[in-house]
Amino acid sequence: MFMIFSLHRPDVLPVNDLGVRKGVQLLYSLEDLPMPPQMKQLCEKWKSYRSTGAWYMWRFVEWKGTPTTSATIAGERNELRGQVGWRLWW
């Protein structure tokens, strides 16, 4: 968190953070929370902007919580995929 929010590093992926893991689980419709090696693999496409991706995962979990329908999940997942990596929040 220090590297992301204080040092403003753009490419930090907190693979052990529960909020980020839960967001990735929701985004990719996984049955279980992804483990750190799986997180690295799934988030490789965010390279150079993984801090932004982590921030979006925190907001996604905060905003959505646990999704209820698969149609809602699919629409929000596609919307988030288009946004991750394109905007920095600082």
Which residue in the list 17, 59, 64, 73 is annotated as catalytic?
17
Show Cβ contacts of residue 84 under 8 Å, excluding neighbours closer than 6 positions. Answer: 46, 49, 52, 53, 56
**Is there a catalytic annotation at residue 17?**
yes
- Is residue 53 within 8 A of residue 85, CB to CB? The reply is yes
Distance, CA of 72 to CA of 62 (rounded, Å):
16
- Which amino acids are annotated catalytic? 17
